[in-house]
Structure 1
């Protein structure tokens, strides 16, 4: 990746125009797509560099109010991406700090959906690394705060984090209600909705994956297998890390249903990707499934 856009502009003067905001917005999109193919251990230094540069532009230069608003959104979006890749690299304290700093930027920009996205993604990390009950409260608060200004796909995305936190908390009814809400919101999408780029990846396959993950967590392995198998087969090859993560849930579903051979075969596929993906998150999933598989074979 080239140096972040602010580097050249900061040497040219202290007042920035909308053209820099244009470049920085394009850069966030590029980095977000790069995350589809590069693990957090590799990507987090790049995103950190861009985030530091974006903060310098906001707080060390002069610009028109409407340009400042756009720049603050860039800081918020880079913070969300930065927290995500930090978490993928296993750097959870840094991820939490970056997420919360991003909430401040998004709030100053008046972008409630983005602030909700930051808090919701933080809740997702805490669901996986901390107390899922606290994370569920945070996920619900994020959805409630963003909802008045959010288009349906944003509400669907934030609803997924509620469903996952509820499932991890063992609350099957709350998880299913949240998943039903996700389906309803996604069905409300309309041509012409101004959907933020950070929702680009959410589609029906991803929704099925979350429903399957919740099913595994809640002990319904058969449903998980039915949902996951077709998605994994058609998942884009260039998104190897995500495909491997989803295969890890399929392997766990096999293990929980007593199909040890299928579980071992699928987990071996995940291990191959995990060895090179640069993702602590994926390696942890391998370890978790290994424990489940070993327990199922006793």
Structure 2
């Protein structure tokens, strides 16, 4: 589903407000960009959604239009704190969004004597609806007034909700889940602010890190890579604050996988190796090390380095064989079982073009894969079809890709749709075959649905 506000500029008079509209400052994509200090995306969003063109940004921030244009194009990056503060003040971005102290203009002027101080609208936009929901009773009012008291039961409830979010993400995709996950992330960070007990704070940090990673994953699956990166970075920071090195490795692995999707092979390999280093420092379990080695293999396969890919795959297999049932694996890596190892090996080999070795591995994994993982089955079925097409088994490949298409129709995953569009392009030499032309038509219809 496409966010209906994306690409719609703010139509208010540009002279009405000295800075970005509060609606844009509350936009999750802008919040994530600010958290990552990704000024290329901040300026792009200011232009696309706020109507701030390069010359207006330049005037507001005391920069030259050419410098703004260069930043929008991704270079050079802005790291100088003085320039960052000028941008915050020029665009009226609250200090906390950029990791700065509150700006002087954030403090409202004193009201005339006898009048109550107004609450700045910007401070409430991202947290509260325009009007209270109906049916708010006395118990709810008292609970809000007292604040949330953190207990082991609260922590278990939050952790259970994360597990449920991941299950639903596998089954249906993350588009519909994202608002709830972002809302819960804000909620957890809010109660973290009010909690002093060290053990509870550590648990809340871990839960917030998981929610930020899940949010990043939903944006990654939606192919909104810049926003995904911002949430992954937020997750990384939260995990680092409690020195949770295995989870740091987990987030780095997510960033590595995203880099492979962006054809940034060197970055993918570097991130996977950094993840391995982080995991080793905390005695990473064999299952975790196997998963991280496979992420490195994906990076080498993207670079078409056959020798390095096979070395990384062999390391993943070696680590997997070392798994002991008594290992204290983190819950978030337990998905990496024998079936997942097999299908990932097949995908890496398929990326290298070794279809003869890849096809039976992917087919075997699909036989053992959970039927509830709709997106995973669609994704892996696409890869099976691709290896079959590499072997010139056109009719079989189209039949398999039709299965992937049927699965994709039931899950909201732009990432899977992108793979199917890629398959449609691979069918171009075979477009005269009726089965191929019909499949191309159906993929096009689904992609524009």
Q: Confirm or deny: 8 A CA contact 1:132 1:169 kept in the other structure.
A: yes
Find 1:98's aligned residue among 231, 235, 241: 231
Find 2:167's aligned residue among 23, 33, 37: 33
CA positional deviation for 1:10: 5.5
Q: Which deviates the most, 40-49 or 210-219?
A: 40-49
Q: 1:112 & 1:290 partners in 2: Cα distance?
A: 41
Find 1:83's aligned residue among 216, 220, 244: 216
Q: 2:244 & 2:315 partners in 1: Cα distance?
A: 23
Q: Confirm or deny: 8 A CA contact 1:9 1:20 kept in the other structure.
A: no
Q: Does 1:139 align with 2:252?
A: no
Q: Does 1:18 align with 2:152?
A: yes
Question: Which structure's CA Rg is the greater one?
Answer: 2
Higher relative contact order (CA 8 A, sep 6+): 1
Q: Confirm or deny: 8 A CA contact 1:160 1:178 kept in the other structure.
A: yes
Give the superposed CA RMSD: 2.0
Aligned-partner SS, 1:37? helix
| TM-score when normalising by structure 1 | 0.91
Q: Confirm or deny: 8 A CA contact 2:172 2:410 kept in the other structure.
A: no
Q: Which deviates the most, 12-21 or 172-181?
A: 12-21
Q: Confirm or deny: 8 A CA contact 1:14 1:62 kept in the other structure.
A: no
Q: Which deviates the most, 46-55 or 251-260?
A: 46-55
The 3 A distance-change label for structure 1 pair 79 and 260 is: same
Task: List aligned pairs for 1:190-205, cutoff 5 A.
Answer: 190-205=324-339
Q: Does 1:208 align with 2:351?
A: no
The count of corresponding residues between Structure 1 and Structure 2 is 291
Find 1:155's aligned residue among 289, 293, 316: 289
Q: Confirm or deny: 8 A CA contact 1:83 1:95 kept in the other structure.
A: yes
Q: Which deviates the most, 13-22 or 139-148?
A: 13-22
Q: Does 1:264 align with 2:398?
A: yes
CA positional deviation for 1:232: 1.5
Where do 4+ consecutive residues of structure 1 move more than 4 Å? 7-11, 295-298
The one-character-per-residue Cα deviations of 1:20-71 (angstroms, maximum 9, x if unpaired) are 222222222222222221212222222222222122222x312311111111
Tell me the residue number matched to 2:130.
none
What 5-or-longer segments of structure 1 have no aligned partner? 1-6
Q: Confirm or deny: 8 A CA contact 1:16 1:61 kept in the other structure.
A: no
CA positional deviation for 1:247: 0.5
Q: 2:166 & 2:280 partners in 1: Cα distance?
A: 23
The one-character-per-residue Cα deviations of 1:131-167 (angstroms, maximum 9, x if unpaired) are 1221211111111122221211111111111111110
Q: Confirm or deny: 8 A CA contact 1:16 1:62 kept in the other structure.
A: yes
Tell me the residue number matched to 2:17.
none
What 5-or-longer segments of structure 2 have no aligned partner? 1-140, 433-449
Q: Confirm or deny: 8 A CA contact 1:245 1:270 kept in the other structure.
A: yes
The one-character-per-residue Cα deviations of 1:272-291 (angstroms, maximum 9, x if unpaired) are 22223110011011011222
Task: List aligned pairs for 1:1-298, cutoff 5 A.
Answer: 11-13=145-147, 15-58=149-192, 60-149=193-282, 150-295=284-429
The 3 A distance-change label for structure 1 pair 110 and 296 is: farther
Q: Confirm or deny: 8 A CA contact 1:252 1:293 kept in the other structure.
A: no
Q: 2:142 & 2:376 partners in 1: Cα distance?
A: 34
| TM-score when normalising by structure 2 | 0.62
